[in-house]
Amino acid sequence: MKDITERTDLEQLIDIFYGKVLQDPMLMPFFDGLDFEKHKPDMVAFWNFVLLGEAGYKTNVTEKHMHMDLHQAHFDRWLALFHETVDELFSGEKAEMAKQRAFQVGWTIHQKISTRRDH
């Protein structure tokens, strides 16, 4: 399998990953009403910035999720689906980096939501 090397790889990853998320009974409710096609360019731009170092992502990923009532089980499921999808499609340094960064993003968002919820 090839590694993640270009934007089209990220588009494929996002399409397949969110195809799973949008069908997952635990995660699907958080995306109710989301216009995926409108949101997809932002998600691709985020991963393009994180993994390939290309400019273009300007939104705060944490702030986008602060209104959601997410708990550890949601983050665990999201991360499991992300890892599964990466492993199905790619192999290499960037693929491993994608999984590490997904963990970091999930952990950061979870910590901020938990802190807000506890106060």
More confident: 60 or 94: 94
Q: What is the pLDDT, as a whole number, of residue 65?
A: 54
Percent of the chain having pLDDT more than 70? 86
**58 in a domain, yes or no?**
yes
pLDDT for residue 77 is more than 60:
yes
Summarize pLDDT for 92-108 with one digit per residue, the tens: 999 999 999 999 988 88
Domain extent, residue 75, equals 7-118
Half-sphere exposure of residue 64: CA atoms within 13 angstroms, side-chain side: 13
CATH of the domain at 21: 1.10.490.10
Q: What is the pLDDT, as a whole number, of residue 39?
A: 84
Half-sphere exposure of residue 75: CA atoms within 13 angstroms, side-chain side: 19
Q: What is the pLDDT, as a whole number, of residue 72?
A: 86
- The first and second tokens of residue 29, run together, are 């409710």
**25 in a domain, yes or no?**
yes
**52 in a domain, yes or no?**
yes
**74 in a domain, yes or no?**
yes
**2 in a domain, yes or no?**
no
pLDDT for residue 112 is more than 80:
no
Q: What is the Cα–Cα distance from 1 to 96, expressed in whole angstroms?
A: 13
**89 in a domain, yes or no?**
yes
Please state which of the ranges 7-16, 26-35, 59-68 shows the lowest mean pLDDT.
Answer: 59-68
Number of domains in the chain: 1
**79 in a domain, yes or no?**
yes
**1 in a domain, yes or no?**
no
